[in-house]
């Protein structure tokens, strides 16, 4: 058995009976992270998502050195013909609704229409907040996942866990999640450095606010307060630095957006999206934080580098090719 140092970010812990073998536990809490048992001729393995890295494209395959061989070993009894194509298991149902394909399983059918309804409520707010439509070719299908564990966006497809945040009893988490995943499709072809996740949730919070949901402000306030425990005035820790606490990265991101909203008005995000769509085109090789602050500066017609530096961001206008004065 392995002991790994892996943050349990909330969630519940599976209780394994005697017929399970626990393969890895958390170093501190000793909660199980990976377990297996025999089923018929094969095995079933259950593991925490974080064991396999954080990035959806598996570009950070942590633990692969032992998880890879383990999975190969467990699958040994299973006949595999490499000449046959991999058998895909996809959703049972797909239905065209308006501009979207709605995809769902038998088990998620009761939720599919309701989740699509929420999407249709959320989308116009996103268009007002960002002042634009999703990037071309994006958000073409909505996949309802048989899980409560969140969602994902591949750009063209957004996927939403049917029971996220105790839906349908609670609505705000679902509104925030749908706006978050759709938001990932709004920012392409170049996602924000550092802010890929915070900006998506911030869009969700803004949608929740516009829908009059009190939890939106609560979520925002809670995260800003958490970050202040590490950086009380938000002027000390560079969120881009190695080891910057996660709560600072998130809290300071929200703080920045809220300050920009307070100083430049409700359409600050729409101005940013307009400038970004114009300046950051598909053929650009990358999008750095220096580029990002330059885009904000153009959008709001102010050199924002000194302001970001006052908040301890290591950004430099000499490291971007984007001209601040576009006039
Ligand atoms: Zn996300």
* pLDDT greater at residue 166 or residue 199: 199
* Span from the CA of 51 to the centroid of ligand 1 (angstroms): 18
Instruction: Examine the pLDDT at 54 and tell me if it is beyond 90.
Output: no
Instruction: Examine the pLDDT at 94 and tell me if it is beyond 90.
Output: yes
* pLDDT greater at residue 37 or residue 327: 37
Q: What is the pLDDT of residues 184-193, one digit of tens each?
A: 989 988 999 9
Query: How far apart are the C-alpha atoms of 23 and 84, rounded to whole Å?
Result: 32
CA-CA-CA-CA torsion for 119, 120, 122, 127, nearest 10 degrees?
120
Query: How far apart are the C-alpha atoms of 157 and 180, rounded to whole Å?
Result: 13
Strands across the sheet containing 157-161: 93-97, 100-104, 141-145, 157-161, 151-153
Cis peptide before 38 (omega within 30 of 0): no
* Span from the CA of 39 to the centroid of ligand 1 (angstroms): 34
List the helix and strand counts (H, then E) for the chain.
Answer: 9, 9
Could you tell me the two tokens for 157? 């497809």
Q: What is the pLDDT of residues 262-320, one digit of tens each?
A: 999 999 999 999 999 999 998 999 999 999 999 999 999 999 999 999 999 999 999 99
* Span from the CA of 10 to the centroid of ligand 1 (angstroms): 17
When pLDDT is averaged across residues 220-233 and rounded to a whole number, the result is 97
* pLDDT greater at residue 213 or residue 65: 213
Task: Tell which CATH classification among 1.10.390.10, 1.10.1040.10, 3.40.50.1370, 3.40.1010.20 matches the domain 93-186.
Answer: 1.10.390.10
Nearest to 50 by CA among 40, 38, 41, 60: 60
Q: How confident is the model at residue 7 (pLDDT cuts 50, 70, 90)?
A: very low
Residues β-bridged to residue 47: 34
Could you tell me the CA-to-CA distances from 17 to 34, 43, 141 in Å, in that order?
13, 15, 39
* pLDDT greater at residue 308 or residue 38: 308
Highest-confidence segment of 34-48, 98-112, 156-170, 210-224: 210-224
When pLDDT is averaged across residues 147-162 and rounded to a whole number, the result is 87
DSSP 50: G
Q: How distant is the alpha carbon of residue 48 from its chain centre?
A: 17
pTM for this one?
0.78
* Span from the CA of 187 to the centroid of ligand 1 (angstroms): 12
Instruction: Examine the pLDDT at 5 and tell me if it is beyond 60.
Output: no
| Tokens 């000194």 sit on residue | 306
* Span from the CA of 190 to the centroid of ligand 1 (angstroms): 14
- Crossing angle, helix 196-210 and helix 172-186, to 10 degrees? 130
* Span from the CA of 162 to the centroid of ligand 1 (angstroms): 16
Residue 233: per-residue pLDDT: 97
* Span from the CA of 152 to the centroid of ligand 1 (angstroms): 6
* Span from the CA of 180 to the centroid of ligand 1 (angstroms): 6
Nearest to 205 by CA among 250, 155, 145, 154: 250
DSSP 83: T
SS3 22: strand
Average pLDDT of the chain is 89
Residues β-bridged to residue 144: 160
* Span from the CA of 140 to the centroid of ligand 1 (angstroms): 17
- Kindly give, in sequence order, each residue whose CB lies less than 8 Å from that of residue 124, ignoring residues fewer than 6 positions away: none
* pLDDT greater at residue 183 or residue 39: 183
């Amino acid at each position: 058995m392995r002991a790994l140092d892996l943050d349990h970010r909330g969630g519940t812990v599976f209780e394994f009976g005697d017929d399970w073998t626990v393969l890895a536990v958390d170093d501190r809490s000793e909660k199980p992270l990976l377990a297996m048992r025999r089923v018929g001729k094969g095995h079933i393995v259950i593991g925490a998502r974080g064991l396999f890295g954080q990035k959806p494209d598996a570009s950070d395959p942590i633990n692969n050195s032992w998880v890879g061989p383990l999975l190969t070993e467990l699958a040994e009894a299973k006949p595999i013909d490499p000449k046959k194509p991999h058998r895909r298991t996809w959703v049972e149902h797909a239905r065209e609704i308006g501009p979207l394909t709605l995809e769902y399983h038998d088990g998620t059918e009761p939720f599919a229409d309701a989740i699509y309804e929420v999407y249709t409520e959320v989308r116009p707010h996103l268009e007002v907040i960002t002042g634009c439509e999703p990037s071309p070719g994006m958000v073409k299908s909505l996949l309802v996942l048989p899980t409560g564990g969140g969602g994902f966006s591949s750009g063209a497809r957004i996927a939403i866990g049917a029971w996220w945040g105790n839906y349908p009893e609670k609505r705000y988490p679902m509104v925030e999640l749908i706006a978050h995943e759709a938001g990932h499709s709004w920012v392409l072809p170049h996602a924000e450095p550092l802010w890929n996740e915070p900006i998506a949730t911030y869009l969700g919070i803004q949608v929740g606010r516009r829908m009059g949901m009190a939890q939106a402000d609560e979520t925002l306030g809670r995260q800003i307060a958490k970050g202040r425990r590490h950086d009380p005035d938000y002027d000390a820790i560079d969120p881009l630095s190695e080891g910057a606490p996660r709560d600072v990265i998130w809290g300071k991101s929200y703080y920045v957006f809220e300050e920009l909203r307070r100083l430049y008005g409700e359409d600050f995000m729409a101005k940013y999206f307009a400038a970004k769509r114009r300046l950051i085109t598909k053929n650009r090789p990358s999008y750095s934080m220096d580029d990002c602050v330059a885009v904000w500066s153009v959008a709001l017609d102010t050199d924002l580098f000194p302001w970001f530096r006052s908040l301890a961001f290591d950004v430099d206008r000499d490291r971007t090719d984007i001209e601040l004065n576009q006039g």
